[in-house]
Amino acid sequence: MSPQIEQDFPPGHPARFDYKPDSPEAKEWARRNVSPLGERDFPVDHAKAADTPGNTNHLKYEAGVDPLNPHREAFTGRTPSQVEGVKRLSEAASKAAIESPALRPIDALVVNKMLDARRSELKRDMLTPDEYEEVLRKYHAQREAQEEADRVELDGKYREEAINFLVSRKYSETEANETVDKEGALNILRAAGIR
């Protein structure tokens, strides 16, 4: 087998040793590489080159739209019948949906301390899901008890403040207590512009 010799220039190139301007190779090379009107945006025979048969330059490209299938839904590519089916399913799911209850907020530092205490108590690093839920239930019970105690304390302060306000307006202690029981301490304070 004879060794192949690497060519310096492709056939038809003007710098080639056997260049003939009228040869088919020279004409093909000129067609592919010479642009008399300036630089080309795309190489010859590229799908977007203006002189390539069947180029796609006339297509308008919009975000999410397939220019070869403009009848399909943007971004999803669904056919109109698929879009209608998804719409019906979505409506049915919306009617059957039940709004999730709002989650009660937690203090992560307190919960983590409680979880660490439970792990130390059990002498292991991992808690089972039931043990984890037990700690959360205990946390919420403690928090509700504290909120109730705070509410009672605040109601007591409002009651005392309302009674003091009524006594300063020349009500007797008994009349002030009856009025607060009847009207509500916070309502009296709001009407007086105190709260």
Q: Report d(CA 65, CA 169) in Å as an integer.
A: 75
Question: Does residue 41 lie within any of the structural domains?
Answer: no
154, part of any domain: yes
Q: What 3-state DSSP class applies to 30?
A: helix
Burial of 19 (0-12, 13-18, 19+ CB in 10 A): middle
Task: Tell me if residue 139 falls in helix, strand or coil.
Answer: helix
> Does residue 182 lie in a domain region?
yes
State which residues form the domain around 173.
108-191
d(CA 39, CA 63): 29
Domain count, the chain: 1
The residue count of the chain comes to 195
Nearest by Cα to 59 from 51, 71, 48 = 48
Categorize the per-residue pLDDT at 33 as very low, low, confident or very high, splitting at 50, 70 and 90: confident
Does 53 reside within a domain? no
Q: Answer yes or no: is 143 within a domain.
A: yes
Model-wide pTM > 0.75: no
Do the domain assignments include residue 122?
Answer: yes
pLDDT in tens, 21-32: 999 999 988 888
- Classify residue 117: in a domain, yes or no: yes
pLDDT at 180: 86
Burial per residue of 84-109, b for 16 or more beta-carbon CB atoms within 10 angstroms, e otherwise = eeeeeeeeeeeeeeeeeeeeeeeeee
Among left, alpha and beta (phi > 0; psi -120 to 50; other), residue 62 is beta
What mean pLDDT is reported for the chain? 88
pLDDT, tens only, 70-112: 889 999 999 999 999 999 999 999 999 998 888 888 899 999 9
Confidence at residue 1, expressed as pLDDT on a 0 to 100 scale: 63
Which of the 8 DSSP states describes residue 56?
S
Tell me whether residue 186 is in a domain.
yes
Residues whose CB is less than 8 angstroms from the CB of residue 61 and which lie 6 or more positions away in sequence, other chains included: 67
Give CA angle at 144 (128, 130), nearest 5°. Answer: 10
